[in-house]
Chain A
Amino acid sequence: MDFNSIEENLINNRHILFKVTDDCSFKCKYCTHGELYNNKKNFQKSTLSFKQAKQFLDFMTTYWNNSRNNSYKTNITIGFYGGEPLLNFGLIQQIVEYSKSIELKFNQFTYSVTTNGHLLNKYMKYLVENQFKVLISLDGNRENNKYRTFVNGNSSFEIVIKNVFTLMEKYPDFFRKNVNFNTVIHNLNSIKNTYNFFQKKFDKFPYFSELDSSRINKSKQKVFNEMYKSITKELEFSDDMLDVEKQLLFNLPRGRKLINLLHFNVNSFFKTENDLRNFKEDISFIPNGSCDLLKRRIFVDTSGGIYPCERVGTDHQIGVISEKGVIINYKYIKQTYDKFLINLRYQCKTCFNKKTCPNCIFRMDVEKDGYKCKYWKSKAQYEKEIKTSVNFLRENRELYQKISEEIFLV
């Protein structure tokens, strides 16, 4: 990861994510800022300033307009995150309006927001007018949603569901194309009942995620264990989940593994037209699951700290928006990459999971696990996984066509 590669990635970046506030109107039990997790002591809530956001956009514009940006008419997404980002709607609006004054030579801006849905009623008009992509966090019906409460402990379900229905009825086209849901699976819900809920109410399929199992507060481990539910295990032990699995394919582990098998390990499956143009059979690459740093996404937190993405926590700040301007810490980036790759080198060399490695080096808990890669696979383990995928395909042959026609790499 040298200076030129980092510059190249900045030029080809297509997604920046602003954390506009740490504040939140909810106090979800499983929130990573909550009591279940080890958090920074003396954590002070803050909000991003418009000045910082503008500085950053101006900084990125010089890269986006660089003639080494090889794209044309593609989207650059400005995303908004929190806490609950709509609590700082004023800043969102300022940033969006400012972005409209920026002259991009080769691209155009689009916008996205991840929200708990509480303030949708207030701001949905603006979101619709600016064609935001909206991701709403909702765990299913009232019972399923019990961990998602307001700060005062009251249920949030009624207000959120009312807002969602209003959005759906007032702006049906927008709702259909631009709105999605994120559901955390735990002991109060199940994949099947949330799938049915979203299908019936909204004709949508949610994205599923599990509770974050890193950095658990030891004193809360028991509570966590009671709440935690593994998506893979739930699917394994249910007889009637097959239709759900086939419908949600990429959202669920077995489907994802099958897609990875076809996309990355089968020479006769051509997934992008690039595959056909490149006639080099062996392309060398550094095996690791980390995305292209600064290219796939850049995350800016409320204090102006710059991170690879919103999931890596606060350990890997790679830059800052300061009074003097935006500073990217090239030295830190190179040192971090070098350190991880040197320590992982032998494991990567002997791993059979190279091509579909999910291991992000920035998410490794080195203090807890050292440099041991939990995704490493031996030949036997890898073959077992292939066998599972092939068996899944054998029972559901129609998935081959579905994958080739509906699942595309970004």
Chain B
Amino acid sequence: MFNNNIYFLLKSHVYISEKKKEILLYNTMNGKYIESRNESVIKIVRQLNKVENLYCIELSSLEIQRNEEINKFLLDARGKSIGEFIKKKDLKKRPVILRPMLGIKKNSNLKRFCFNNNQIMDYLRDLSLSINSECQFNCKYCSDGFKQFECCHNDQSNSELPITIIHNILSQIEFSSIRNFNISGGNIFNYSEFDKLLELISKFDFKKEFFVHFKNIPNSLNLNKFQKLNNFNINILVDQTVNDEEIKDLLRKLKNKTNYSFNLILQCEESLKNYSKMLKKLNLRNYFFKPYFNGSNLDFFRKFVFIDKEQILNTKYSLKEIYSKNIYNNFLFGDLSIKNTGEVYTNLYRKNVGNIKKKSIREIIYTELNEGTSWTLTRDKITPCKSCIYDSLCPSISKIELSTISKNRIKVVGCNNYMKFREN
């Protein structure tokens, strides 16, 4: 077949992931891929990946005929619409492929991408407010559940975020692109100015999400307070101590009276089974599982939460999605958390980035975009991901992964892929 020299080219929608000893060619149109550790194939892909070659190189017939792996690779590429080969003599000149390219400005040190300081407030996505810390209960996940998902938290400070500060925050975000405004506590119903808070946020169109533990929903809950609100939801945090009767009781209070959903805190396989039974029995549909890493349930996460190579490659990613993961952490980007003390966080596993009583949201966002490292925490910055060919296909580093790293001090990431692949 390869009796003549050829031009081998990749299609413009193909993404190349190139590491030291392996490569991945990923077709973003059909999800098909080629991965290889063969030296000759890696050499060819490296040449293709040089920008000046524009995804097209010449290969000699001798080279192809002598090397079975190259032969196989070329046919495989054609079969998966990843590449194509054309006899050199059939073309006057080497073709040009307008290959994928990130033409995004970097700063003068070339170490970070530049964001647009003319639209700072457009970068705000979710704002989470912890309005108080008071709570009579002492759940086991209280100390750090809030770092892994939206959850109440008692920091023992017994302090509240003053309503004047909340008012100020709202005026700052009025014209931003905020998507969700999350409110949690302590027990939010014990917030001294709760009615006033509802009145303030009722003037805004963004989604309001309330987070409250099921034990903190008062018997005499007055849902009329929420009537003025549009676009809101009450998220009820449920853990494995709940029983069916308690859920039924909640449903009596809430069903057909307000918007709500259940957030089921999940730590082990047994809880999963118990929840599944309960959901089936009570015919509950509006629920979300919230896996919680407690420091000793890594096996549960490996089995039920972390993803495998097959799962990564069974999902089709566009070039846009792949490249966005090179720049943003899609779970953290645009999110701010403000505690009842006024401290602001872009990443709850790191130090605060200021206090809302002293710094504006605009200033905090500007600093994070221009100097911070939380919103841009991408897999190519951490081991072992930076040496993995799937680093741009994998979902961004999640809060749960950050919790596994912080608790166990081991570099475990949210996939079983790396360990299994290494074993092979």
Contacts and interface: CB of A to CB of B under 8 A. Distances in A.
A170 B2 CA distance: 66
Contacts of B328: 276-277
A106 B363 CA distance: 9
B113 A397 contact: no
B102 A270 contact: yes
B101 A404 contact: yes
Interface of A: 12, 14, 67-68, 70-74, 106, 262-263, 266-277, 279, 390, 393-394, 397-398, 400-401, 403-405, 407-408
A397 to B, nearest CB: 5
A273 B96 contact: no
Interface string B100-126: 111111000000011111111110000
11 contacts: A67-B171, A70-B119, A70-B175, A268-B99, A268-B101, A397-B53, A397-B54, A400-B99, A401-B51, A403-B103, A408-B103
B93 interface: yes
Contacts of A276: 104, 320, 323-324, 327-328
A262 B324 CA distance: 19
Contact of A275 (B105, B172, B320): B320
Contacts of A405: 103
A194 to B, nearest CB: 29
B306 interface: no
A312 B174 CA distance: 36
A364 to B, nearest CB: 29
Contacts, number: 109
Contacts of B13: 268
Contacts of B119: 70-71, 274
B234 interface: no
B12 interface: yes
Interface in B1-18: 12-13
A123 B76 CA distance: 69
A340 to B, nearest CB: 27
B207 interface: no
B101 A272 contact: no
Nearest to A390: B96
Among A14, A71, A276, the most chain B Cβ lie within 10 Å of the Cβ of A276
Contacts of A73: 117, 366
A27 B216 CA distance: 82
A401 B50 CA distance: 10
Contacts of A70: 118-122, 175-176
A71 B117 contact: yes
B319 interface: yes
Given A276-B320, A403-B103, 17 more contacts: A67-B174, A74-B118, A262-B101, A266-B12, A268-B12, A268-B99, A268-B101, A269-B98, A270-B323, A272-B116, A273-B116, A273-B327, A393-B54, A397-B53, A400-B99, A404-B51, A404-B102
Contacts of A266: 12, 98
Contact of B319 (A268, A273, A397): A268
Closest 7 CB pairs of A and B: A404-B103, A268-B100, A276-B324, A401-B51, A72-B120, A70-B121, A71-B118
Which of A106, A270, A407, A408 counts the most chain B CB atoms within 10 A? A270
B245 to A, nearest CB: 44
Contact of A394 (B94, B117, B320): B94
Interface in B74-108: 93-96, 98-105
B319 to A, nearest CB: 6
Contact of B175 (A67, A263, A394, A404): A67
A199 B321 CA distance: 43
A308 to B, nearest CB: 19
Contacts of A403: 103
Nearest to A279: B320
A262 B175 CA distance: 33
A270 B320 contact: yes
A209 B324 CA distance: 38
Contacts of A12: 118
Nearest to B119: A70
B215 interface: no
Contacts of A394: 93-96
B70 interface: no
A406 to B, nearest CB: 9
Contacts of B327: 273, 276
A262 B117 contact: no
Nearest to B95: A394
A271 B121 CA distance: 21
